[in-house]
Amino acid sequence: MDAVEDQTGIILDVLQRAAAAHGVHEAEELGGRFDEQWPQWYAAHMTRTLAESGYRIIRTTDDDK
């Protein structure tokens, strides 16, 4: 497995965990209502999950500015 496949697997796992947790969030905390703020919720959940697993997101170059 190469680095891109490894990274894809990590992101896929975190995204799937966020999707499952968000379903619970909508059902239990929002009473089954659609979460209009779902992108922000997913981003925060995925960031926390990655950090808890020892990952951090860093910019490797300034080319993307």
Vertex 27 angle, CA 51 and 38, to 5° = 50
Quote the pTM value: 0.81
Query: Side chain identity at 9, as an amino acid letter?
Result: G
Handedness of CA 16, 18, 21, 26 (dihedral sign): negative
62: confidence class by pLDDT, cuts 50, 70, 90:
confident
Here the tokens at position 52 are 């808890």
Here the tokens at position 36 are 């209009």
| Model pLDDT for residues 4-59, shown as the tens digit of each residue | 899 999 999 999 999 999 999 999 999 999 999 999 999 999 999 999 999 998 98
